[in-house]
Structure 1
Amino acid sequence: MNVGKTLFAQVMEYVPWKTFGRIIDRHGGDAGVRTLDCADLFRVMAFSQLTWRESLRDIESCLSANQGKLFHMGLNGVPARSTLSDALNQRDWRIYHELAMRLIRRARDLYAKEPTGLGFDATIYALDSTTIDLCLSLFNWAPFRSTKAAVKMHTLLDLRGAIPAFIHISDGRMGDVNILDILPVEAGAFYVMDRGYLDFGRLFKLHQTGAFFVTRAKRGMNAQRMYSTKTNRSTGVICDQAIRLNGFYVSKDYPEHLRRIRFKDPESGKTLMFLTNNTTLPPLTIAALYKSRWQVELFFKWIKQHLRIKRFLGTTENAVKTQIWCAVSTYVLIAIVKKELHLNASLYTLLQILSVSVFEKTLISCALQPDTAGISADEQTYPKTSCCGKKGCPLYNSGRII
C-alpha cells in the first residue's frame, strides 16, 4: 500500500466501490447531481463519524482547515453546509442501507470462525431494539408519545464478532414483537430475545423454519407440565420440564411442547424461567445462551457513545436514516479493517487513533497498532533496529517490511 496516502484514504480502500457504484446506478442516486454525489456524501459522513463532528458547520470548518488534503480523501473540495444538507435530504437512504448490508456480509464472513465460548458451533443471534429520542416538533414523521418523537433500531446481532446481521429502523411506536414478522430466519441458528418478543404464534413460525429460540417466560403463564428431567440443583438449575400451553387460543398458536427451565442465578440470587424449543442442549447452556443476550445491550451502548447517532444533521426521515446507515457502515468498516489487518486493538482504540490521525500519511497497519502509532512512516517501513533504509542493506534488498 502506498504510504503517501492518508489514513482516511486507506480506510476507504476497504469500501467495495464498484459494488457501491452499481447500487447507486440501480437507485438512480446520482441522476441530476452536480456536486456532492452519493459516494462523496458517504466519504463526508464517514469522516464525520471517525472524527466526531456533530454539526454541518463543524464538518465544513474542519474540512476547510485541511483543504489541501481533501484531494487525498477523494473529495474535490469543501462542501457547503447547504449542499451537505440538501444531499442528506435528497440522496436515497436505501443506497446506504444496501452498502451497509454488503459490508455486513463481508464482515460476517471474516468473523465466521470466531469462537462463541459456549461449546458449540451454531450461529447465535441476540435480538433487541434501542430507542433514540427526538424532538416531536422537528421530527413529526417519527411519533412515539404525545410529546415526544423517537426512532427505533431493531437489531439482530451476530455474537461472532458483534456484527449486526439485520437492522430495521422504525418510528418509536412500532412494537418490538412485530419485528419477528420481517426477521430473516436461518435454520439451525439460535435466536435469543427477552420477554418483549414472547408471542407464541410468531415463535411457532420461527420453530417451523428449523431455528431455535431462547426467551423468558412471563408471570402467570398458563401451562401444564408433561414430564421432568432430572437436574442437579447445586448448579442452579431448579427444574427442566417439557410443558404444554393451556388455553384455547394460545394452544392453537403453539400446538407443540415447549421446554421450560427454571434457573437460580448464583450471582444475583434471582430465579429466572427460560422457554426454548431446543430439547438437546444442557440447561446450563440454555442459561448461558440467554446471558449472552447482554452483548446486544453493550452494542447499543457502544454505538451511542462512539458513533454520531444521537444528534442528527437533518430533520427529515431520509436524512436521519442516511446518517444511521452511514454510522453502521463506518462501524462495520472498522471491524473489517481490524480483521483484515489482524489487529489486536479493540474497536474503541482503533476509532480513538483514527479520530486524531485521519490526515496522517502513515501505513494503516502500523498506525492502528497502539505501540507504533507515534512512529513515522519511514521508521515503520524500515526500523532502525533491523534495517538502515539504504539499498546496500541486506534487509532492504530482501524486501523486509515490518
Structure 2
Amino acid sequence: MDKITRKTSFGQWFSAMNLQLIEDQVKIKKLDYYTKKLRTESSLKLLLFAQLVEVESLHALGDCLFDEQLQKGIELDLISISRLSRRLNSLNPDLFQLLFLDLVGQIHAKTHYTKLVMPSKIIDSSTLPLNLTNHRWAKFRKTKAGVKLHLRLVFMEKGSSYPEKAVITKASEHDRGQLEVLVDDKECMYVFDRGYLDYERFDRMTDDGYFFLSRLRKNAVIREVSDFPLPDDSSVLSDQMVLLGSTQNRTENYFRLLKVADSKGNLLHLITNRFDLSAEEISEMYKARWAIELFSNGSSST
C-alpha cells in the first residue's frame, strides 16, 4: 500500500479539505466530546480511503486497518467492526455539507469561464436504497425504502467536471419538482434527462432567460412549425422548430427539436430553447450528459 502522504492520491484528496473548518466544527458541536477512539478527522480520512480504494464493506475496511501505514496516516489503530459502525452512523451530516460547500467554493475560485465558453450544468438523480425496517419514513415501494440524490455537475470540457450542488429527497418524489431548486444560473446550459420533463416549467425557464437541453419521450405530442437545413455531413437526422403538447395544453414558446442516433443506433429526440447554436453543437452538449453517469457510478461504488 502506498504511503499516505500529500504526494499520493489519498494525500492529495485530503489536502484540499479545510482542516481548520473541521477543527472548528468539532469544537463548536463537540463532535469528539465522548470519543476515545476514531475522532472526526480520522473518520473522514477513513471514509475517503474507503472511497479511493473502493472498499466493499465495513468488514473489508476493518481488515485494511491491519496495515501500519494506513494506521499512521489516519492516526488510528485496529478497531472493532461494531465500534466502527457506531462511529460512522453517529457522524454529523452537517459537517459533510459544510465541507462540500467549501470545496465547491474553492473550485469556483479557481475556475474561470466567459459567456463565449458557456459551461453545461448536468442534472440527474440516483436512487439510494435504504433498509425499510429502519427507514419507514422513506418507503416508496411495498418492500423498499430509499432516498433520491439530485446532483448538479458542472461540465467545462471533456475530463473536466465537478459536482456543484446536491439535493436529497424521498425516492417517492418526482424528479421534475427539483428543477426549481437546481436551476438558478442564466449563464450556463442545463442538461437533463426525461425524468425532469415539465412543459409548463420549460415555458417559465424560457421566459426567465434560462437555457436547457433535455430529451423528449418518443410519444410526445408536438406540432412542427418549420425545418432547419442541415449540412450534408451532419450526424443529426433532423432539426425543427416545434410547439410542445396537445391543443388544450400547448407550450407558449417555440422550441427546437433535434433527432439524433446514439452510439447503439437508438433514435433520441432532443428538445432545447437554444436557437443560436448549430445542430452538431447541441448534439455534442447532450453527449456530455454521460459525465454525470460516470461520476454517479464511480461515487456510488462503495
- Which structure is higher in helix share? 1
Which deviates more, 11-20 or 237-246?
Answer: 237-246
What SS class does the counterpart of residue 279 from structure 1 fall into? coil
- CA–CA distance in 2 between the matches of 1:217 and 1:5? 48
Q: Describe how 1:199-214 pairs up with structure 2 within 5 A.
A: 199-214=198-213
Match of 2:35 in 1: 34
Deviation at 1:121, TM superposition (A): 1.1
Which of 255, 259, 266 pairs up with 2:256?
259
Match of 1:294 in 2: 290
Deviation at 1:185, TM superposition (A): 2.0
- CA–CA distance in 2 between the matches of 1:177 and 1:124? 19
Which deviates more, 217-226 or 120-129?
Answer: 217-226
What letter corresponds to residue 88 of structure 2 in structure 1? L
Match of 2:147 in 1: 151
Which of 273, 279, 290 pairs up with 1:277?
273
Deviation at 1:77, TM superposition (A): 4.6
Q: Residue deviations 1:299-321, cap 9 Å, x none?
A: 233334xx41xxxxxxxxxxxxx
Match of 2:173 in 1: 174
Which deviates more, 79-88 or 151-160?
Answer: 79-88
Deviation at 1:23, TM superposition (A): 4.4
Please tell me whether the aligned partners of residues 140 and 149 of structure 1 are also in contact (alpha carbons under 8 angstroms). Answer: yes
Deviation at 1:145, TM superposition (A): 1.6
What letter corresponds to residue 174 of structure 1 in structure 2? E
Deviation at 1:20, TM superposition (A): 2.8
Q: Describe how 1:83-98 pairs up with structure 2 within 5 A.
A: 83-98=83-98
Identity of aligned residues (%): 24
- CA–CA distance in 2 between the matches of 1:268 and 1:51? 32
What letter corresponds to residue 202 of structure 1 in structure 2? R
Which deviates more, 48-57 or 185-194?
Answer: 48-57
What letter corresponds to residue 16 of structure 1 in structure 2? N
Distance 1:109 1:137, change over 3 A: same
- CA–CA distance in 1 between the matches of 2:84 and 2:48? 13
Which deviates more, 147-156 or 48-57?
Answer: 48-57
Q: Residue deviations 1:190-233, cap 9 Å, x none?
A: 11112221102223343344321011223343443444433346
What SS class does the counterpart of residue 159 from structure 1 fall into? strand
Deviation at 1:260, TM superposition (A): 2.2
What SS class does the counterpart of residue 144 from structure 1 fall into? strand
TM-score between both structures, scaled by the size of structure 1: 0.62
Deviation at 1:42, TM superposition (A): 0.9
Greater relative CO (CA pairs within 8 A, separation 6+): 1
Deviation at 1:41, TM superposition (A): 1.9
Match of 1:314 in 2: none
Match of 1:43 in 2: 45
Q: Describe how 1:52-91 pairs up with structure 2 within 5 A.
A: 52-63=54-65, 65-66=66-67, 70=71, 72-75=72-75, 77-91=77-91
- CA–CA distance in 1 between the matches of 2:68 and 2:284? 52
Please tell me whether the aligned partners of residues 4 and 70 of structure 2 are also in contact (alpha carbons under 8 angstroms). Answer: no
- CA–CA distance in 1 between the matches of 2:210 and 2:25? 31
Match of 1:195 in 2: 194
Match of 1:125 in 2: 121
The structure number with the bigger radius of gyration is: 1
Please tell me whether the aligned partners of residues 129 and 153 of structure 1 are also in contact (alpha carbons under 8 angstroms). Answer: yes
Q: Residue deviations 1:146-182, cap 9 Å, x none?
A: 1223333222222232312222233322222222132
Number of corresponding residues: 292
Deviation at 1:31, TM superposition (A): 6.7
Deviation at 1:277, TM superposition (A): 0.9
Match of 1:104 in 2: 104
TM-score between both structures, scaled by the size of structure 2: 0.80
Please tell me whether the aligned partners of residues 236 and 266 of structure 1 are also in contact (alpha carbons under 8 angstroms). Answer: no
CA-atom RMSD, angstroms? 3.2
- CA–CA distance in 1 between the matches of 2:45 and 2:103? 15
What letter corresponds to residue 81 of structure 1 in structure 2? I
- CA–CA distance in 1 between the matches of 2:190 and 2:179? 11
- CA–CA distance in 2 between the matches of 1:289 and 1:4? 38
Match of 2:164 in 1: 165
- CA–CA distance in 2 between the matches of 1:75 and 1:295? 35
Distance 1:191 1:10, change over 3 A: closer
Please tell me whether the aligned partners of residues 154 and 169 of structure 1 are also in contact (alpha carbons under 8 angstroms). Answer: yes
